[in-house]
Amino acid sequence: MNYDTVREADPAVADALADEVDRQRDTLSMIASENHVSEAVMEAQGSALTNKYAEGYPGSRYYAGCENADEVEELAVSRAKELWGAEHVNVQPHSGTQANMGVYLAMLEPGDKILSLDLTHGGHLSHGHQANFTGQLFEVEQYEVDEGTGYVDYEGLREHAEAFEPDIVVSGYSAYPREVEWERVQAAADAVDAYHLADIAHITGLVAAGVHESPVGVADFVTGSTHKTIRAGRGGIIMCGEEHADAIDSAVFPGSQGGPLMHNVAGKAVGFKEALEPEFETYAERVVENAEALGETLQDRGFSLVSGGTDTHLVLADLRESHPEVTGSDAEEALEEVGIVLNANTVPGETRSPFVASGIRAGTPALTTRGFGPEEMAQVGACIADVVDNVDDADVKAEVAERVQDLCDEHPLYE
């Protein structure tokens, strides 16, 4: 990955690309929504399909010359059906947010009602935040996690749905460490005759591998992104029953997008093929084991974890009791200095601004791809604890930075 051809054309960009590879090699990527895709996925995304316009769907395009695009999209769709068991799949959304937009456009009218989890409790912007088109176009109310347990308050959700009578209930979250009980959300939606959209963006890979229960066949719509735990090309995906297939396809194109990013669809196809291999199940199991090991280490060091642990690929530490003087952004900055890249995150009952936040979210998908196991995750947890306990101590940070570099060197990336 020297980017020699780019360098000949554009040295400045080539330098930035090469520096990015070095950054990924020499840091621990723990942003829960990130992963390291294979070189095959990257090559597919960098392919000649970036040149092709293919508005429409396989066999029914608005342009000539789409035979290879058709083949790639059909492969992506058939592999996705095999991975998640969905009746209908659309692989064209440019992102997870675009996938959600496709569902809203297909099923709702402006002014209709969305009931979704509050962003500070683990939800997502595209589930109805006021700064997002969803908050501007629709009437939104939000349910919460139980602040005592950190688990979704399903009873409160059911009561809220009965009072609000939403048109759609959204489940699936961005900073929620526990397995989602899809049937309980479905029951709440059914009780008020609402649709149920399960957004599995973060856990696509865990669901495909059977490590997290699947909402496919439970919820009316399942959306996701394709570059997180599933480790395929960047973008989004929508799954639904045949009865909604036409409405969903029309909402994606021409409803909300023009030409699909066929190079990214190729990356999705390649990544889905990789995920159909038996090794992927082992990978997904290891992602969760690693998150458990990380969480246990942090708890042993006095950190408080939202919900007391994890069933998934991430842990969410609430620093308010253990480190009252350290904000989430203080911790994020100090950890980045030593080569641990994660994000400050709001926590249930957040008392600071979202820019500062009181928690840190740490995920294991990328480190697991690099071959980290529970023992190494315990070492990573110790590094995090040493830094957050000593955010202003340059000596401690210098010593931890060496341990981080050793871990990176022991688990090379993109050799």
Least spacing, CB of residue 124 vs ligand DSN, in Å: 6
- How is residue 108 written in tokens? 């709702």
| Cα 322 to Cα 74, 129, 296, 300, distances in angstroms | 51, 30, 15, 12
Distance CA 397, CA 320 (A): 22
Nearer to ligand DSN, 47 or 310 (CB): 310
170 CB-contact burial (10 Å; exposed 0-12 / middle 13-18 / buried 19+)? buried
Least spacing, CB of residue 385 vs ligand DSN, in Å: 23
DSSP 373-399: -HHHHHHHHHHHHHHHHTTT-HHHHHH
Least spacing, CB of residue 181 vs ligand DSN, in Å: 21
Query: Is 328 one of the binding residues for ligand DSN (CB under 6 A)?
Result: no
Helix 394-410 / helix 374-389 crossing angle, nearest 10 deg:
160
Nearer to ligand DSN, 96 or 267 (CB): 96
Nearer to ligand DSN, 124 or 268 (CB): 124
Least spacing, CB of residue 96 vs ligand DSN, in Å: 6
Asked if residue 263 lies in contact with residue 44, where contact means CB atoms within 8 angstroms, the answer is yes
Nearer to ligand DSN, 90 or 346 (CB): 346
| Total length of the chain | 415
Least spacing, CB of residue 367 vs ligand DSN, in Å: 16
Least spacing, CB of residue 313 vs ligand DSN, in Å: 11
Helix 154-164 / helix 182-191 crossing angle, nearest 10 deg:
20
Least spacing, CB of residue 349 vs ligand DSN, in Å: 20
| Cα 166 to Cα 107, 189, 238, 352, distances in angstroms | 12, 8, 21, 30
Q: By beta-carbon distance, which residue lies closest to ligand DSN?
A: 33
Of residues 119-158, those binding ligand DSN (CB under 6 A)? 124
Asked if residue 76 lies in contact with residue 91, where contact means CB atoms within 8 angstroms, the answer is yes
Nearer to ligand DSN, 160 or 202 (CB): 202
Of the candidate residues 35, 174, 186, 358, the single one contacting ligand DSN (CB under 6 A):
174
- How is residue 44 written in tokens? 């597919």
Nearer to ligand DSN, 313 or 397 (CB): 313
Least spacing, CB of residue 2 vs ligand DSN, in Å: 29
Of residues 106-125, those binding ligand DSN (CB under 6 A)? 124
The b-or-e profile of 93-106 (16+ CB within 10 A means b, else e) is: bbbbbbbbbbbbbb
Nearer to ligand DSN, 188 or 201 (CB): 201
Count of chain residues binding ligand DSN (CB under 6 A): 4
Least spacing, CB of residue 346 vs ligand DSN, in Å: 12
Of the candidate residues 33, 47, 90, 369, the single one contacting ligand DSN (CB under 6 A):
33
What SS3 class is residue 360? Answer: strand
- How is residue 327 written in tokens? 């904000």
∠ CA(354), CA(133), CA(92), 5° rounding?
110
Least spacing, CB of residue 146 vs ligand DSN, in Å: 22
Nearer to ligand DSN, 124 or 286 (CB): 124
My answer on whether omega of the bond before 254 falls inside 30° of 0, hence cis, is yes
Of the candidate residues 56, 96, 102, 236, the single one contacting ligand DSN (CB under 6 A):
96
Nearer to ligand DSN, 200 or 319 (CB): 200
Nearer to ligand DSN, 79 or 228 (CB): 228
Distance CA 306, CA 122 (A): 11
The footprint of ligand DSN (CB under 6 A) covers: 33, 96, 124, 174
